[in-house]
Every structure is written in structure tokens, then in C-alpha cells.
Amino acid sequence: MSVHPQPQIAVLDAGGQYCHLIARRVRDLGVYSEVRPSDIPASELASFRGVILSGGPASVYEPGSPTADPALFDAGPAVLGICYGQQLMAHLMDGSVRKGDKGEYGQAMIEVAMRDGLFAGLEPRESVWMSHRDQVEKPPSGFTVAASTETCRVAAIANPARRLFGVQFHPEVVHTPCGSRLLRNFVFDICGCVADWNPRSQIAMIEDEIRQQAGSRNVFFFVSGGVDSSVAYRLCLRALGPERVHGAYVDTGFMREGETEFVQRTLGVDVVHARPAFLKALDGVIEPEKKRHIIGEQFVAVQDGVLTTGHYLDGDWVLGQGTIYPDTIESGGTAKAEVIKTHHNRVAGIQKLIDEGRIIEPLKSFYKDEVRDLGRAIGLPSELLDRHPFPGPGLAIRLLCSGEELEMEASEDGWIMPVHSVGVQGDSRSYRPVLVFDEPLSPALLERATHTVNRVSRVNRVIAHLGGHAPVGEQKVRAAHLTGPRIDRLRKADAIVRQLSLESGFENDVWQFPVVLIPCGSADRPDSVVLRPIHSVDGMTAQSVLMSADLAERMRVELLAIPGVCSVYYDLTHKPPATIEWE
């Protein structure tokens, strides 16, 4: 007997960063949904009550782009196209799609022209989350334009008689406040679904799956101390018992201040000290993807060393990991997805173990907030569950490097800093310079940053200069590598920011607060610190959060007292177009 009910909603995967988030939002409504390939034959979807076409990084008019069976639109289930899904629907049904004059990334306001059906209960103007460059120029025959923005005339289309709808924005992300209402309208009122799913009931299913995958084998867990690996580790302990599950913690040298002691105290696992090996492997490496690959492969090497020196290979062991869905989707883990950045648990060595059936990942289909809920349900302490997310590669990916000396460039919008960071624009990876505003923090500056990064295509991130030991225009990007002293500098900066955030209560206002060290400054102070406080629910989208002027000043003063730190900057960029982490 299947542990799942029959799925009522199919989400067709066109490679979008939010594909599984759509399915998860439907499950949050109490309706079981599953993901299928975008080109699945329409005949195989006849039993579903509704179909949602996801977004994706491609352009519908390009050869080889993801497509769908045109018969889908006459197959019976109601259809909702989201972003690329709307464009694909128009493209396959005699409409037209073109590249927009400029992209829309982040918050936008729609004018809602249709007030019933899919849009019942929405206000005449709604704030929505956009991530696109292409747009529908002409809707298909029989469709009306249901919503518009200043940039995108066709922000939604509808043919209620055929139960076919499309939206250019993303109702599945938390930054579209009306999104839950819109999805509820589609799932219940248009598709006629009935509630059949309780996410909390998944715990028994996860533990059954662990037992099935493990069989007679034992599980070795390398625990990071973060929420994901800790919950996965505890689920394996519950499913298999402590005699079959062993945990270890690898101190790479890239940990936060006090991190190793916290993990050892909270989880009681063994500590493997590996700082020299990681520093040596990363000596001279600058490019972020290469850095991530090396960190991931070094993890595998350390893990192999631990396993081969113990008794673990005498029996039959498999490796447990706390991988969650954003790790796989951003690493290109679905058929059509773009690689945004490779996560350390998706490098070649790990993939080889997956192919060999030697990996157990209990949380690979879940998102961060779901993982926290699972952790609460199985009794993990809030001290661990309510921690801000911290990336597996640690401070190494928050310490940027450069191979050459580069000058600042003045522009009409601000200073172009030749430090590149990773972004995600239209579901695709970008790697571009940073734009600097040399102005005080304010809500107006945050709004201007959002508009500017959408308009200026050569950058994917905007930061504000809070002050420093040298003017912005006199600073330079300098040759710098990942070294012990620079890691220690960043670790001290991170500790200062965490302490002040905790004392002020700002820690409770944000979901995550990366502190980044960039190789930009003066000759005697070659580095600068970037503050990156964001609000999110699941890590798939995020909004930059402003702190008070008083807290920003306190942080600025204490950070500038660190030897080698020239300036303090503040990241004003949402995700998209920037990723949460800079690398």
C-alpha cells in the first residue's frame, strides 16, 4: 500500500528554481501534489484535477527549450502557468512571447483587472514577486489580460470557460502576499480538490523510507551542527537506533566562533580537526564554483579518511546527509534546472555515492521551514532549531578572493566595484560586479536599489557604503586569497555582528545574516565587510532587511576597529536578482 494518497495536482517541471516550492505550497493547503516532467504526455495527467506549469530559465522561442504536450490544454484538468509556464501556454496556443525591454526582478505592483475565479478576493492593486525578462506580447485567442504592471502589460491571462490561466509573477513565494489566496482559488474553487494531506504525517513516512534505504546497513553521519543535518541525524537515530547510527563533526577551519564547542555540547558527536587540509586544498583558488567543488571534494576525502581508519568499512555502511531541496535545485538537480551554485553535498564525489546507492538523505524533498517543523515534532531543542542557517562550506564562501588589482569605476548610478558575486536572474545564474551607493541607509535607498538593479544589467547586486577609513572612490580591489589570517578576520567580524544582533533583538527580525569579507580597501586595510541581513521563509526568495541607524552605527564602529578592515557596506539586494550568499 502506498504511503501517499493519489496526487490531485501535478506540477510540471520546466527547470524553475521554484518548481518544488509550488508543489510544497499546494501541500501546505492540505492537498497532495507531485512533480512531473514538463513534457509528460497529456494522457498521463488525465487523472489529476489540476496541472501547474512551473517557471524556468529558458526562453520558449529558443530551440531545445522545455515544452509541454499541447494536448494538455484540452485534456480535462485545469491548468495554471506560472512565469515561464504562462509564456509556454501562450507560445503553444497561438499567442506570442518576446524579450522585454527590461527585466523585472523582485517586488512589483500589479493592477488586477479580473476580480473573480482565480483572482477572487484580490485587491485592485497587489504586491507580487517577479523574476523574468521575457513576457507575453499577445495572449492566445479566447484569453483576456487579467493583470498588468508598469513593465509588463500581460502579467496574467485567463480563459475561465476552458479553466486555463497564466500569471507572470510567482504566487508560490512568500513575497507575493496574495499568492496563497490565488493558489487556494485554483486548487479548491477551479480544480475542485479536497483536502487529503497533513505535512506532520510525513515523519512516519520518512522513517520508513530510512529503514527501507538502509536495509541491514548502518549509517555514518557527518553533522554540521546546522538545522538540516541535525534533524536528518536525529531522524536516522529514531528510525534505526543509536547502535546503527554514528555521528561526527568536521572542523574545517571555516567555522564561526564557538561553533565546534556548541555542536559537540549539543549533539555529542566526535570532532575531526581538518583545518590544515582544507586551507591547503584551497590555496590560490579564487573562482567561487571551483571553491565550492574543492570544499565538497575535500569533505569527501576527509570522510573517506575517517571511514577507512575506523571499523566502518568492516561492516556495511552508508553515508547520511542533511541535504534539503534548495541544495539540489540550485545545483541543477532537476532535469532542466540551471546551476546557480554547486552545494558541497552535490559535488562529483557525493554524486558517485548517490549513484552507488550509498547515500541516505531523509530531507532532500523538504524546505528549511518544513525541516524546522519536523525537528520540533521530534523534540529537538529550540536552541538548535531556531539558529540562522549557516552554509556547509562555512566562512570560506563568505570570504571573496581576487587575483589582481582593479580600480573602482564611476557611473551615473554610483560606483561599480569590480568584485563579482553570484546572482539568480530569470532562473539563471549570473556572476557580475557590484554597484555601490555612497549614501546613508533609508527605505527610499532600498527601493531605489531594487529599481536600479533591474535596470542596470551589468550588475546583480547593490550595496550601500556605511563609512570607512577611505572614500569609496579611492579604494581598490586587491589580489587576495583564502588564508588563515583572512578567515580569522572574517570570523571576528561575524562574531561582532552576531553579538550586537543578539543584544539589540535584531536577530529575531531576520532569517539569516551572512557577514561577507571582500578584498576591497586601502593598502594598509585591504579588506572590507559587507552586512547581508535578509528575511525569508525557505531560502528560495529573500528580502533585504534594514536595521536601525543606531545599530548600523554600532556595527560600523566596532567592525572598523578590526585590523585590516577598511570599510563597512550594507547589501540592499533581494533574491532574486542576488543569491543570499555572495558565492
Check residue 326 and give its pLDDT.
62
Give every CB contact of residue 535 below 8 A, 6+ residues apart in sequence.
509, 510, 511, 542, 543, 545
**Is the bond leading into 576 cis (omega within 30 degrees of zero)?**
yes
**Backbone φ and ψ of 535, nearest 5°:** -115, 135
Check residue 49 and give its pLDDT.
98
Give every CB contact of residue 18 below 8 A, 6+ residues apart in sequence.
54, 55, 82, 170, 172, 173, 540, 541
Helix (H, G, I), strand (E, B) or coil at 119: helix
| Widest distance between CA atoms in the chain | 69
Q: 539, 326 in Cβ contact below 8 A? A: yes
Q: In what order do the strands lie in the sheet with 317-320?
A: 270-273, 245-251, 218-222, 317-320, 359-360
Give every CB contact of residue 434 below 8 A, 6+ residues apart in sequence.
416, 417, 419, 420, 421, 459, 461, 462, 463
Helix (H, G, I), strand (E, B) or coil at 498: helix
- Quote the CA–CA distance of 464 and 533 in Å, as a whole number: 13
Q: Is residue 495 exposed (0-12), middle (13-18) or buried (19+ Cβ within 10 Å)?
A: middle
Q: Which residue, among 51, 17, 188, has the nearest Cα to 542 in the 3D structure?
A: 17
Q: 195, 188 in Cβ contact below 8 A? A: no
**Backbone φ and ψ of 425, nearest 5°:** -130, 120
Paired sense of beta strands 527-531 and 565-571, if any = parallel
Cell of 101: 525591454
**Backbone φ and ψ of 500, nearest 5°:** -70, -35
Query: Which are the catalytic amino acids?
Result: 83, 170, 172
Dihedral sign for Cα 439, 440, 441, 443, please: negative
Q: Which domains does the chain have, with CATH numbers?
A: 9-190 (3.40.50.880), 199-394 (3.40.50.620), 399-571 (3.30.300.10)
C-alpha neighbours within 13 Å on the C-beta side of residue 529: 35
pTM over 0.85: no
- Quote the CA–CA distance of 217 and 219 in Å, as a whole number: 7
Helix (H, G, I), strand (E, B) or coil at 187: helix
Q: What is the DSSP letter of 121?
A: T
Cell of 487: 578567515
Helix (H, G, I), strand (E, B) or coil at 242: helix
Check residue 427 and give its pLDDT.
65
Q: Determine the distance from the C-alpha atom of residue 168 to the mean position of all C-alpha atoms in its chain, rounded to a whole number.
A: 20
Q: Which pLDDT tens digits describe the chain residue by residue (583 residues)?
A: 344 678 999 999 998 777 888 998 998 899 989 889 999 999 999 999 999 999 888 999 999 999 999 999 998 899 999 999 999 999 999 999 998 877 788 889 999 999 999 999 999 999 998 988 899 999 999 999 999 999 899 999 999 999 999 999 999 988 899 999 999 999 999 999 999 887 667 899 899 999 999 999 999 888 888 899 999 999 999 999 999 998 999 999 999 999 999 888 888 888 999 999 999 999 999 999 899 899 988 887 887 787 677 666 555 888 898 988 666 555 554 555 555 545 445 455 566 777 777 889 999 877 777 888 899 999 998 888 888 878 878 999 999 999 999 999 999 999 999 999 999 876 678 999 999 999 999 999 999 999 999 899 899 999 999 999 999 999 999 999 999 999 999 999 999 999 999 999 999 999 999 999 999 999 999 999 999 999 987 777 889 999 999 999 999 999 999 999 999 999 999 998 999 999 9
Cell of 580: 543570499
Q: 60, 109 in Cβ contact below 8 A? A: no
Check residue 349 and give its pLDDT.
55
Residue environment code for 274-295, b if the CB has 16+ CB neighbours within 10 A, otherwise e? beebbbebbeebbebeebbbbb
Check residue 319 and give its pLDDT.
86
